[in-house]
Amino acid sequence: MTTVGGSWRAVLGWVTVGLVWLLVALGAIVNASGSGAGCGTAWPTCLGAWTPPPRLAADLEWAHRMGALVVTAFLAAGAGAVWRTGDAAGRRLAGVVGGVWVAQVGLGALTVATGLPPVVVAAHDLGALALLVAALAIAFYLRPHRVARPAESPRAWLWTTAGALAAAVLLGSYTAHLGQACDGLATCATVLGWSGGGAQPGLAHGLAVGVAFGAAVQAWRKSPRSPAGWRRWLGAASAMLALEALVGGTVLATALAPVLLGVHEVLGVTTAALAAAAALAATWRPAAE
């Protein structure tokens, strides 16, 4: 069991989660508004200056970068608090958080320097999800907890759900930046022929969501009497997935309307993060349980 004294640490963890989510939402606004290139190919400056001229695209991109600085400070504080717990698991987690942050900063710089190619933008979106999950891991770790025994919770199914949804985020982002490839929510225009630039990742995106749904159902079935902690998170993820599917269908019907694309992106990342939270809640159980 790991015991962490001081309620401020728990507050720090959840404040960090909220700030990372807001940064993800701002990033989605940047993408949806076409402001990803608002600062040109300059990084970390914007249009070659530390105070960019007042242009909407530049302002949004610069606000996203400044928000990233704030998130960095909170992630560092949270990782430091985890490190100071003194156990090996906490230090490994702190190291993983640092690695995720370095990778995401590098992907952000690469995205700008290479002119926003779809594969790099998609990887950057996946990195945003990884940062959100890292913040959630900090929040769950900074509470008295114990590692659950495998028989106590369906950890494998929950992590499968989260992993499949992460794959859906990556494939969905890549598909969106290639352009519309499917003509309906459950079918793809080129299922039989597998032709077209975005058809394959678009269909794979749908399949990943299907795998996540199946794994979530298995999680519910395998542990009908386990404590409700992870169930609340998975219930929230399931509701969010239904909303995401509704918005996804609307996106297809409106030929990838930019505003809806941004909403769909935020919902996708949020759904995957909630599924990861369910897995974390099932892995690190409250010490009182």
Reading the block at residue 37, the tokens are 């290139």
Confidence band (pLDDT; 50, 70, 90) for 5?
A: very low
Q: 222-243: per-residue pLDDT in tens?
A: 776 666 688 899 999 999 999 9
Q: Is the pLDDT of residue 153 over 80?
A: no
Residue pair 194/200 in contact (Cβ under 8 Å)? The answer is yes
C-alpha separations of 184 from 34, 38, 174, 191, 202 in Å = 25, 32, 18, 11, 11
Confidence band (pLDDT; 50, 70, 90) for 32?
A: confident
C-alpha separations of 132 from 54, 256, 271 in Å = 30, 25, 11
Q: Is the dihedral of CA 232, 234, 240, 245 positive or negative?
A: negative
Global pTM value:
0.85
For 127-166, letters b (16+ CB in 10 Å) and e give bbbbbbbbbbbbbbbbbebeebeeebbbbebbbbbbbbbb
The confidence score (pLDDT) of residue 271 equals 96
Which is higher by pLDDT, 150 or 1?
150
- CA gap 283, 153 in Å, rounded: 8
Q: Do you know the residue count of the chain? A: 289
Q: 158-217: per-residue pLDDT in tens?
A: 999 999 999 999 988 888 777 654 554 444 544 434 444 445 777 788 889 999 999 999
- Torsion angle, alpha carbons of 216, 92, 76, 172, to 10: -30
The confidence score (pLDDT) of residue 44 equals 84
Which is higher by pLDDT, 1 or 287?
287
Supply the DSSP symbol for 41.
T
When pLDDT is averaged across residues 126-145 and rounded to a whole number, the result is: 90
In this structure, what are the phi and psi dihedrals at residue 176, rounded to the nearest 5 degrees?
Answer: -60, -35
Reading the block at residue 57, the tokens are 């695209």
Which is higher by pLDDT, 152 or 43?
43
Q: State yes or no: cis peptide before 44, omega within 30 of 0.
A: yes
When pLDDT is averaged across residues 270-277 and rounded to a whole number, the result is: 96
